Amino acid sequence: MASPLAPTITGWINFVLLIVTVVVEVTAFVHCVSRKPDAFLAIGNIPKSGWVAMTGAALLFTVLIGATAFSFSPLALLGVIALVIALVYLLDVRPALRDAVDGRGNW
């Protein structure tokens, strides 16, 4: 038999996941918007407009869908994809941009 606190705990976990995801996606979007388009061309990656569209759409999706994206629903896969887009930008593209602009690949 399930504990009566289970729905409350699940709700808090979903809320924390939502907040962390929004922070990651806002960071990726703001960083992407603040970079020069030439830097994206220098690393030979997707152009700035593509990354702005992808990170912005990921953020918009997460904000509109909210905690539903982290429950057991068909939207859960889309929520994970939105988070992965932001993480790929932050962990792969951002260091490459820094390396192209000022010669440092670290954060």
In the block, residue with structure tokens 């509109």: 64
Nearest alpha carbon to residue 21 among 69, 54, 53: 69
Interval 86-100: pLDDT, tens: 999 999 999 988 888
| Single pTM value for the model | 0.82
Interval 12-25: pLDDT, tens: 888 888 899 999 99
Please answer whether residues 85 and 58 qualify as being in contact, where contact means their C-beta atoms are separated by less than 8 angstroms: yes
Does the pLDDT at position 104 exceed 70?
A: no
Q: How many CB atoms lie within 10 A of CB 72?
A: 6
